[in-house]
Amino acid sequence: MVGHSSLSCRTLGNSARHSVKLLDWRASAILAQLSQPQSLRQVTPPPQVGPETAYQFLNLLWATGFLSVEAETPDLKLWEFHNLLFHSRCRQGRHDYPTADIAGSVDVWEQFPVAKPPMSGQIIPLPQLNIDAIRQKDKTLTTAIEKRESIREYDDNLPITIEQLGELLYRTARIKEIYTFDAEQQEMLKAQFGEDFDWGEISRRPYPCGGAMYELEVYPVVRRCQGMNSGLYHYDPLNHQLAQIETEEAHIQALIKDAYQSSGEQGMPQVLLIITARFGRLFRKYRSLAYALVLKHVGVLYQNLYLVATNMGLAPCALGAGDSDTFAQATGLDYIVESSVGEFMLGSLPNQDIDNNDDLDKDEKAEAHKAAFPDSLLKRIHGDNHACHITSTIVGQENTPSPGLAPNCRVINVPLNTTGTDEEFISPIILFHLLQIPNLDIFHLKVRITLRYGCLY
């Protein structure tokens, strides 16, 4: 057992740090009794240690600042034991453990490549994106920061799409470039660590990361996303694709339900992004600082997700606590090697009154109205408009000066494409019945011709 004194260097007037190693179990046994505040008289000395020795031992620790006899102040009471220990260990000042050290982790170095290999053969490619095109239409950073808020409700009739999920991941978490440290950087690292080391491949991504180690991974859990089946996926930031992970439906539901409860049960996320850390990738370099760095990285990624989701018109909300054991069961990942360290809820914005939204200008309102309809419905409306137009051109319109080309003609419009999908075409049975209609002069078939920039009917 090692004890650390809270007496600062300034108090003792030198730069030494103070720790005491307890090598005899009986010393630890005495201290263990002080895990709860109590008087010296209540302490039971262990075998072969008289009360006087125990008293002298505790007195020595107290005089050198290792023990306190003060009642806990209200400020101190706010600290959970593990929080204060964590705080003191992941900052410098109260310990002399190494904050960065590579020698201790050399034997596991190779297990943590720059990018995690695809987790299954079930690959779902995500639409490729052009950052310049996004930049042209994107709202400003100030807009994103000012407009950003946590939204926990969604429009399940019009869920987030695979294109939107892909764009969000691309803009927040992809690998932009892989490189190796150049000679100058190698020299700097050698000076810092005292060793020449092969750091392997390093990556650049849209968010910053201590030592450019990038240990975080993103796992979308999909409940409802247009263009994707529900399930558990891993985002491959190098190839910008998802790999589906086989798991039981019950695990997926448990993860989504956990998020739903954490957010005050306002809405079930359409997609839950679970963020994990491949601990070794970061721990190999930073020692006592490492876990704190992981959590800082989660915060950095959260902010990226918030801002981009806001500009994309999605509903974002970070979560503070997920169940790492449930995630380990769902994926089969080893809790010690790679655990979940953050969760982020995502979905389409809830139904909104677009016309009365003062944040939107005229063009944005038109866009928002259009975006409020699924693609298939827009195609259907477009097709029906067209059919109506053709019919009125032929037979004219009642009570208007438009006589039409052939006012006495009998015309029937056939709803060819009722679902708005490209594949749908008239069924032979409907066609047969059509041809049986007596005195029919024209029937109007809709033909879809796909062009480069759209389609004609």
Stretch of 61-69, 148-156, 187-195, 203-211 lying at the interface with ligand FMN (CB under 6 A): 148-156
- Closer CB to ligand FMN, 321 or 435, in the complex: 321
Count of positions (residues) in the chain: 457
What is the C-alpha to C-alpha distance for residues 27 and 44, in angstroms, rounded to an integer? 12
Tell me how far, at minimum, the Cβ of 315 lies from ligand FMN, in Å. 11
Query: Per-residue contact track with ligand FMN, 277 to 316, x per CB under 6 A?
Result: -------------------------x--------------
Among residues 24, 72, 146, 149, the one that binds ligand FMN under rule CB under 6 A: 149
How far from the centroid of its chain's Cα atoms is residue 177's Cα? 21
| Per-residue tokens: 408 | 């006495």
- Closer CB to ligand FMN, 114 or 259, in the complex: 259
Strand ranges in 137-257 using DSSP code E only, listed in sequence order: 177-179, 202-204, 216-222, 231-236, 241-245
Among residues 216, 256, 318, 349, the one that binds ligand FMN under rule CB under 6 A: 318
450: three-class secondary structure by DSSP: strand
Q: Which residue is nearest to ligand FMN (CB)?
A: 320
Tell me how far, at minimum, the Cβ of 153 lies from ligand FMN, in Å. 11
Among residues 27, 245, 274, 317, the one that binds ligand FMN under rule CB under 6 A: 317
Tell me how many residues contact ligand FMN (CB under 6 A): 11
Among residues 203, 244, 263, 348, the one that binds ligand FMN under rule CB under 6 A: 263
Stretch of 92-100, 159-167, 258-266, 434-442 lying at the interface with ligand FMN (CB under 6 A): 258-266
| Contacts to ligand FMN from residues 358-417, by CB under 6 A | none
Q: Is 422 in the site for ligand FMN (CB under 6 A)?
A: no
What is the C-alpha to C-alpha distance for residues 357 and 378, in angstroms, rounded to an integer? 23
Tell me how far, at minimum, the Cβ of 142 lies from ligand FMN, in Å. 16
- Closer CB to ligand FMN, 280 or 342, in the complex: 342
- Closer CB to ligand FMN, 102 or 319, in the complex: 319
CB 174 within 8 A of CB 203: no
Q: Is 320 in the site for ligand FMN (CB under 6 A)?
A: yes
Select from 72, 75, 173, 64 the least CA-distant residue to 129: 173
Select from 342, 317, 315 the least CA-distant residue to 263: 317
Select from 159, 444, 143 the least CA-distant residue to 308: 143
Cβ burial 62-97 (10 Å sphere, 16+ → b, else e): eeebbbeeeeeeeeeeeeeeeeeebeebbeeebbee
Residues whose CB falls within 8 Å of the CB of residue 227, separated by 6 or more in sequence, listed in order: 161, 162, 163
Among residues 59, 150, 352, 385, the one that binds ligand FMN under rule CB under 6 A: 150
Tell me how far, at minimum, the Cβ of 261 lies from ligand FMN, in Å. 9
Q: Kindly list the distances between the CA atom of residue 146 and the CA atoms of 141, 195, 317, 347, 352, in Å, as whole numbers in the listed order.
A: 9, 46, 15, 20, 19
Q: Is 262 in the site for ligand FMN (CB under 6 A)?
A: yes
What is the C-alpha to C-alpha distance for residues 224 and 336, in angstroms, rounded to an integer? 31
CB 340 within 8 A of CB 218: no
- Closer CB to ligand FMN, 152 or 278, in the complex: 152
- Closer CB to ligand FMN, 172 or 391, in the complex: 172
Tell me how far, at minimum, the Cβ of 264 lies from ligand FMN, in Å. 5
- Closer CB to ligand FMN, 244 or 263, in the complex: 263
- Closer CB to ligand FMN, 199 or 302, in the complex: 302
| Contacts to ligand FMN from residues 151-170, by CB under 6 A | 152
Q: Is 264 in the site for ligand FMN (CB under 6 A)?
A: yes
Q: Is 324 in the site for ligand FMN (CB under 6 A)?
A: no
- Closer CB to ligand FMN, 149 or 422, in the complex: 149
Tell me how far, at minimum, the Cβ of 150 lies from ligand FMN, in Å. 3
Tell me how far, at minimum, the Cβ of 8 lies from ligand FMN, in Å. 31
What is the C-alpha to C-alpha distance for residues 52 and 168, in angstroms, rounded to an integer? 67
What is the C-alpha to C-alpha distance for residues 241 and 260, in angstroms, rounded to an integer? 26
Tell me how far, at minimum, the Cβ of 275 lies from ligand FMN, in Å. 11
- Closer CB to ligand FMN, 161 or 310, in the complex: 310
Tell me how far, at minimum, the Cβ of 211 lies from ligand FMN, in Å. 22
Select from 390, 389, 388, 376 the least CA-distant residue to 423: 376
Residue with tokens 């946590």: 150
349: left (phi over 0), alpha (psi -120 to 50) or beta: beta
- Closer CB to ligand FMN, 149 or 187, in the complex: 149
What is the C-alpha to C-alpha distance for residues 375 and 370, in angstroms, rounded to an integer? 9
Positions touching ligand FMN (CB under 6 A) are: 149-150, 152, 262-264, 302, 317-320
